[in-house]
A and B are shown apart, each in its own frame.
Chain A
């Protein structure tokens, strides 16, 4: 409180509170309450402070990253795998008009690209071509042979899109170190008939068609080793989500035709060089035209649980083919 206020005048406080003066005070050469020098000092301080902080954080992260290995992530959170439709588009609807080439092309070209990529892995020497009972190891993975899918869901056939029997590619998400526990296979990897019966009885919600399929195939195989090879599979089933969907759908065809599912030999995924995700084609045979159909596909193994709401162990997509 200086003397000048007592000389009268309304400004008793001796301050000028106006905002414009705060922004730029020409008397004290202050910009937002600070002189240029003060601003410079403050800027330098904060620069040093943030550099120091970044360095500290960097050091901490560096120390942490030393504990990480390049080969595998540290934690397996135990998420379950699930099949995946072939599309990366923003929705899960496959929609095209029959007879309109460009329409169908949008879909089958994606499959085309994917399959071509798999075919090229032939040239990758890191990948084993697993025959008979050979299995992927922690170092080497098995090649996915495109030929096993037969000649229906092929490039030449436009994956059935133009004929109105579209093929859907289903694959399992890669999870580090995950291996399926297959039905009817004991800890030693041997076929066990009783175990198979028990397993399939306990498999909640498994369609009876799949059970029949498994039993009839197992019975037709004579050799236990071959049975074990056949049973070492993550089974895949597809169906309409609700009653009307089921009525609107035709039948399904699964490729490879000798195994309605994905062979266990491709597992585990261990970030092997040139690893190819195994997959299976499901062909929708002549589904109803002009109707939106909800399709649900499920993967089956003892360590795959299903949860429709969280979409665990299953996938859902819609298909709409306009005529």
Chain B
């Protein structure tokens, strides 16, 4: 209980207020000092009070518990019960008679072996994954530099406590959650927390109520990528933002997979059937005046016979095969059962960055000389087309500024054969994008820089929001120095007095201003990041060569510049994503974007990949279109929505529920890890099966909670990979679609496989029933039953996993987990009630033929059992007056067992062929599944081997059969095929008709 409570509290949003307090108050509260730090004494007190600064490892489940759990899972339990019942039955028989047959003992042992082997197999699969906390450990810094009583100390990160003054510099991991008191161009990489890959600057000022957005907090385990800072520790260990995520992940229960639920349901069904039948038999046995002990043995016998011994292995192998197939498609499945989950998925919560997009800022548009130009990468990514603008003066100037006003450089040591787009760049994402653009458009940025060597620069700062540099101009045009500047467009514009248009440089006028605003707005609404560019050739008379430019106190103009243009960038969607989203849509899978990014960017990407389809509008769109305020638009009229994390916080559970219900297309922006989790839970509560994709640590709670968590193989953090059930090796959203398809296919094929396997239970069990009810000699022994279940039936059952889909499975809705069961009563009805019955009749037909041909006509078999089974009766008379010794008639009986076994193999040919399709005609489905065709040959070969190999009569009591005894089941095999073809024809002819309602499984 306690643990659950903890998790619930962790799910709440982080409550941090320390960043809003005045620094003095905070210091007083924590009894620290922003200069000297804690006193040693108080640090000790706090350390004892708060405990060490580390993540508490969760209670790990010991390996043996996991092993036991695997061995006793679902099917496992069923087989165990079967095995125990066998041993009980054997014990009863052995104690009552010396010559008891050991069949039950062997059966029990075989069941035990089967369950152990499959248990070990799945244990092996499972133990490869797990160990979530292990990956969190790597995030924790080892050492921290702390100032106590004015002394600089290097402590183990564990010893840091609340109130400590810590120092961090680039390359460090932040040792705890700290409030910045002093920073020098300090930047942190919060990507593991927020998913935003860009480094963020941090300073002493509180800029936002939200602790994740304010600039004066830095968080435990995030990286400092630039500058240095000092900060006061406000949270340590498990109470840190990261600690809470870790706690949440390890505390969350991911619940049963859909396939596990289906298997449990299936076992439920066959248990009910088995017990019902066994009870009926017990009653019948008592009515027939059997000894009660015999009745109990019969009861156990039926239940054991009903256990599909081979099915557990079949299902495991089918899932493994699919997992392998998915791995080939770059979809690595960690948990075998998760293979199917994607197929059942009805909603995908996808992260934006990296999954839907390429996680690579790219220049997408330019605005020069009053026109917006598409900067389209051509197909081979080796050059950029700008549609005829490249000769324009304005464009040339813009590119020149772009190349010069930048600190980004290609990292050394990279071969020129590496495509430009793939080269590593030192510098922030926007500058890298611009650098690559210049490189692609003009050939070489370095050449331009050579021509205009940099003389002086003012780096970007957040208050002025511009970046400036001054270059010597070797190619004299108006002066010998060129001043270039880039920054936030409106700030740049303020500093300009002229603007480049298609008529050349003109004075700033209203028309030009309007054009600028329109362009700025348009690019902004595309979710793109826009930068403005301007320059000014400095007249050589005022600024001669050798002029001493001073960047601290600018002795050059910062206004009256020439506005040249805008460059806008975005992280473009992956090219295959729109197609994949469309496929999801046609497959009835909702795609919901959940991102930490800004709403506008998120929405733009959502629109461009089709998560918000072109015909759908959000409330804001409608308001915009109609020109009315937001409040006047009724929420019902919109079918798409962009929900901000801030709004989400205000929503109650029911309101969130309504949002998820009422809007078909939703983008959640600016969401926190907890909110992501909240969305997943809300969807699950509605009955949806939810897939979540993510790459950051922040995504891991949602990944864990989701029915299937999908982590990114390339960009994904270790934590996210550990929390996930599946890893996309190529980080590509469209791979998920392939996964959905495979998942759906395996669900269908498992149905077929189970239908096939269950069918032969009827011919296997009916001999035992007839043995008891009609006192005829046993027609099929338990050894032969095992030969079918664990021998001949295995390969065909597994081969059904290779069956191709009947129709386009990506055009139908995901299955309703409440109604579309893996095994339903229709499947049972067809398998047990119809096909199984035909098979049983086929088996008995052969049995009676062999008995009759050897002298025992059917009418004389009735009631013969007590004499047949008595070892003392050595002159049992048959219908022709012959007398049979015990051994002789047993040999005949075993011949019948073998023939019955062969008959089942033959009618199972027909069964596996009809199980290939559930709706289509076999004619349309074809026999192209060569694994299945091999299975047909294989099971026949096994049957022949078992029957004809010398020594089998001793080992398995199999007798060699006359060739003609292979023939009697054939008419029944044909009957099965015809019957099922007609059944499927009726299903197709009358959709929704009675035949479909009662027999379509």
- Cβ of A46 within 8 Å of any chain B Cβ, yes or no, is yes
Contact in complex: A53, B968 (CB < 8 Å): no
Q: Which residues of B contact A72 (CB under 8 A)?
A: 880
Contact in complex: B882, A173 (CB < 8 Å): yes
A298 to chain B, nearest CB (A): 14
- Cβ of A205 within 8 Å of any chain B Cβ, yes or no, is no
Q: Which residues of B contact A65 (CB under 8 A)?
A: 852
Closest A residue to B889 using CB positions: A79
CA distance A95 to B870 in the complex (A): 19
Q: Which residues of A contact B962 (CB under 8 A)?
A: 75
CA distance A124 to B855 in the complex (A): 25
Given contacts A61-B845, A82-B874, A90-B872, 14 further A-B contacts (CB under 8 A): A1-B687, A6-B657, A54-B841, A57-B845, A64-B849, A73-B882, A77-B854, A77-B892, A79-B884, A90-B870, A171-B875, A173-B875, A174-B883, A275-B881
Contact in complex: A75, B853 (CB < 8 Å): yes
Q: Which residues of A contact B882 (CB under 8 A)?
A: 73, 173-176, 269
Closest B residue to A32 using CB positions: B825
A side interface size, CB within 8 A: 50
A241 to chain B, nearest CB (A): 16
Interface residues on chain B, size class: 35 or more
Contact in complex: A84, B881 (CB < 8 Å): no
CA distance A98 to B733 in the complex (A): 95
**Interface-forming stretch among B23-31, B253-261, B830-838?**
B830-838
CB contact under 8 A between A13 and B853, given known A57-B841, A79-B885, A311-B887? no
- Cβ of A45 within 8 Å of any chain B Cβ, yes or no, is yes
- Cβ of B291 within 8 Å of any chain A Cβ, yes or no, is no
B249 to chain A, nearest CB (A): 26
- Cβ of B290 within 8 Å of any chain A Cβ, yes or no, is no
Closest B residue to A69 using CB positions: B880
Closest B residue to A13 using CB positions: B687
A2 to chain B, nearest CB (A): 11
Bitwise interface map of A from 279 to 313 toward B, beta carbon under 8 Å scored 1, else 0: 00000000000000000000000000000001110
- Cβ of A206 within 8 Å of any chain B Cβ, yes or no, is no
Contact in complex: B874, A315 (CB < 8 Å): yes
Closest B residue to A275 using CB positions: B881
Contact in complex: A84, B687 (CB < 8 Å): no
Closest A residue to B962 using CB positions: A75
Q: Which residues of B contact A89 (CB under 8 A)?
A: 872
CA distance A315 to B686 in the complex (A): 76
Bitwise interface map of B from 402 to 441 toward A, beta carbon under 8 Å scored 1, else 0: 0000000000000000000000000000000000000000
Q: Which residues of B contact A310 (CB under 8 A)?
A: 887
Kindly identify, within residues 41 to 63 of chain A, every residue whose CB is under 8 Å from any CB belonging to chain B.
41-42, 45-46, 49-50, 53-54, 56-57, 60-61
CA distance A195 to B884 in the complex (A): 31
Contact in complex: B874, A84 (CB < 8 Å): yes
Closest A residue to B871 using CB positions: A92
Contact in complex: B855, A312 (CB < 8 Å): no
CA distance A115 to B855 in the complex (A): 26
- Cβ of B891 within 8 Å of any chain A Cβ, yes or no, is yes
Contact in complex: A56, B975 (CB < 8 Å): yes
CA distance A73 to B880 in the complex (A): 7
Contact in complex: B874, A311 (CB < 8 Å): yes
The 7 closest A-B pairs by CB, nearest first: A173-B883, A79-B888, A73-B855, A74-B853, A174-B883, A310-B887, A57-B841
Contact in complex: B818, A15 (CB < 8 Å): yes
- Cβ of A155 within 8 Å of any chain B Cβ, yes or no, is no
- Cβ of B67 within 8 Å of any chain A Cβ, yes or no, is no
CA distance A53 to B844 in the complex (A): 13
- Cβ of B878 within 8 Å of any chain A Cβ, yes or no, is yes
Bitwise interface map of B from 885 to 914 toward A, beta carbon under 8 Å scored 1, else 0: 111100110010000000000000000000
Closest A residue to B870 using CB positions: A90
Q: Which residues of B contact A75 (CB under 8 A)?
A: 853-854, 962
Closest A residue to B879 using CB positions: A73
Q: Which residues of B contact A311 (CB under 8 A)?
A: 874, 885-887
CB contact under 8 A between A176 and B838, given known A56-B975, A60-B971, A73-B880? no
Q: Which residues of B contact A173 (CB under 8 A)?
A: 874-875, 882-885, 888
- Cβ of B628 within 8 Å of any chain A Cβ, yes or no, is no
CA distance A277 to B874 in the complex (A): 14
- Cβ of A156 within 8 Å of any chain B Cβ, yes or no, is no
Bitwise interface map of A from 22 to 47 toward B, beta carbon under 8 Å scored 1, else 0: 00000000000100000001100110
CA distance A175 to B881 in the complex (A): 8
Between A and B, 13 residue pairs with Cβ closer than 8 Å are A1-B687, A6-B661, A56-B975, A57-B841, A57-B844, A57-B845, A72-B880, A77-B895, A84-B874, A84-B883, A91-B872, A173-B884, A312-B887
Contact in complex: A176, B891 (CB < 8 Å): no
- Cβ of B654 within 8 Å of any chain A Cβ, yes or no, is yes
Q: Which residues of A contact B685 (CB under 8 A)?
A: 12
Of the candidates A50, A74, A92, the one whose C-beta lies within 8 Å of that of B854 is A74
Contact in complex: A42, B998 (CB < 8 Å): yes
CA distance A84 to B875 in the complex (A): 7
CA distance A221 to B975 in the complex (A): 68
Closest B residue to A65 using CB positions: B852
CA distance A272 to B738 in the complex (A): 76
Contact in complex: A61, B848 (CB < 8 Å): yes
A155 to chain B, nearest CB (A): 22
Of the candidates B881, B887, B895, B994, the one whose C-beta lies within 8 Å of that of A41 is B994
Bitwise interface map of B from 744 to 767 toward A, beta carbon under 8 Å scored 1, else 0: 000000000000000000000000
- Cβ of B873 within 8 Å of any chain A Cβ, yes or no, is yes
A276 to chain B, nearest CB (A): 11
B701 to chain A, nearest CB (A): 22
- Cβ of B185 within 8 Å of any chain A Cβ, yes or no, is no
CA distance A79 to B878 in the complex (A): 14
- Cβ of B474 within 8 Å of any chain A Cβ, yes or no, is no
- Cβ of A193 within 8 Å of any chain B Cβ, yes or no, is no
A141 to chain B, nearest CB (A): 11
Kindly identify, within residues 844 to 877 of chain B, every residue whose CB is under 8 Å from any CB belonging to chain A.
844-845, 848-849, 852-855, 870-875, 877
Of the candidates A60, A176, A277, the one whose C-beta lies within 8 Å of that of B855 is A176
Closest B residue to A78 using CB positions: B888
Q: Which residues of A contact B654 (CB under 8 A)?
A: 8
CA distance A176 to B657 in the complex (A): 83
- Cβ of A88 within 8 Å of any chain B Cβ, yes or no, is yes
- Cβ of B208 within 8 Å of any chain A Cβ, yes or no, is no
- Cβ of A271 within 8 Å of any chain B Cβ, yes or no, is yes
Q: Which residues of B contact A77 (CB under 8 A)?
A: 854, 888, 891-892, 895
CA distance A92 to B872 in the complex (A): 6
- Cβ of B390 within 8 Å of any chain A Cβ, yes or no, is no
Contact in complex: A269, B881 (CB < 8 Å): yes
Contact in complex: A68, B852 (CB < 8 Å): yes
CA distance A56 to B970 in the complex (A): 13
- Cβ of B658 within 8 Å of any chain A Cβ, yes or no, is yes
Contact in complex: A33, B825 (CB < 8 Å): yes
Q: Which residues of B contact A33 (CB under 8 A)?
A: 825
Q: Which residues of A contact B872 (CB under 8 A)?
A: 87-92
Q: Which residues of A contact B971 (CB under 8 A)?
A: 56, 60
CA distance A233 to B975 in the complex (A): 54
Bitwise interface map of B from 813 to 834 toward A, beta carbon under 8 Å scored 1, else 0: 0000010000001000000011
CA distance A277 to B998 in the complex (A): 59
Bitwise interface map of A from 253 to 277 toward B, beta carbon under 8 Å scored 1, else 0: 0000000000000000101000101
Closest A residue to B856 using CB positions: A73
Which of A8, A12, A174 lies at the interface centre, i.e. has the most chain B CB atoms within 10 A of its CB? Answer: A174
Q: Which residues of B contact A1 (CB under 8 A)?
A: 686-687
Bitwise interface map of B from 973 to 997 toward A, beta carbon under 8 Å scored 1, else 0: 0010000000000000000001000
Closest A residue to B834 using CB positions: A49
CA distance A59 to B818 in the complex (A): 44
Q: Which residues of B contact A41 (CB under 8 A)?
A: 994, 998
CA distance A15 to B883 in the complex (A): 64
CA distance A56 to B845 in the complex (A): 11
CA distance A141 to B691 in the complex (A): 85
Contact in complex: B833, A79 (CB < 8 Å): no
CA distance A25 to B124 in the complex (A): 45
CA distance A275 to B882 in the complex (A): 11
Which of A42, A77, A176 lies at the interface centre, i.e. has the most chain B CB atoms within 10 A of its CB? Answer: A77
